[in-house]
Amino acid sequence: MSRHCELPGLRAKLDNAITYGTLKESAACAKAGLDKSSKSGFTGEAEYFRGQLDILKKNFVSAIGHFDAAIKYNPLDGAAYNDRALCMVELGIIDDAFAYFDKGIKVEPDYATVYHNKGWLLNNIGRHSEAVKYFNKALELEPGRAVTYDNLADALYNLEDRRGALKAYKKVLALLKPGACRAIRKEIAGRVRSIEKGLV
């Protein structure tokens, strides 16, 4: 998690809720972060959590304004650059989004999420080999990222590396907590079975 933020626990909880939880859980985490940062006088953090709430409402232009404010208060906040880039992607501003992912990597080179999200964008626009490099970098920094293994598997599958994709999907299943994320686990298990059938 971003080493330059004041409230890393709440940011980590929010990230997990966005990835594996519900919109309601994500909003509750973002509101808790905004409340705590506002009461503590952490203006940059408050702007960051306001940006998160706007993302959840799909107010991407407004969210960018909040992330810009967060960056002004803390130019070393890789997550703010990352999330600004994600808003740009939602608005169809792809080339400039890469520039913000790169800024996030430059200011915080040990922040796994920014590598993951740059890989996600590369994979979505068909640059699968490049995506694999960024997913691997994210996993080098944070080996327990199930979501990154999921995206890595997709990129490898797109590259027709079925065995590599299978290995990555099985890693997702191993990392997901038992009993949690049942829908995701079921979907991944289905992909595993499909790939295994094709390899026979």
Of 108, 126, 147, the position where a domain reaches its end is: 108
Q: How many domains does the chain have?
A: 2
Q: What is the span of the domain harbouring residue 5?
A: 1-108
Do the beta carbons of residue 52 and residue 36 sit within 8 Å?
no
Give the number of other Cβ atoms within 10 Å of residue 72's Cβ. 12
Each residue's pLDDT, cut to its tens digit, for the chain (200 residues) gives: 454 555 677 788 888 888 877 889 889 999 998 999 999 899 999 999 999 999 999 999 999 999 999 999 999 999 999 999 999 999 999 999 999 999 999 999 999 999 999 999 999 999 999 999 999 999 999 999 999 999 999 999 999 999 999 999 999 999 988 777 788 889 999 999 999 988 85
What is the structure's pLDDT at 3? 46
* 62 and 144 both lie in a single domain: no
Q: Note whether 149 and 193 are same-domain residues.
A: yes
Q: How far apart are CA 20 and CA 181, in angstroms?
A: 7
Question: How much is the pTM?
Answer: 0.90
117 shares a domain with 75: no
Q: What pLDDT sits at residue 92?
A: 96
CATH (domain of 193): 1.25.40.10
Q: Are residues 70 and 118 in the same domain?
A: no
Do residues 10 and 21 share a domain? yes
The CA distances from residue 12 to 30, 43, 91, 123, in Å, are 11, 19, 25, 24
Q: Are residues 24 and 89 in the same domain?
A: yes
Residues 75, 144, single domain; the answer is: no
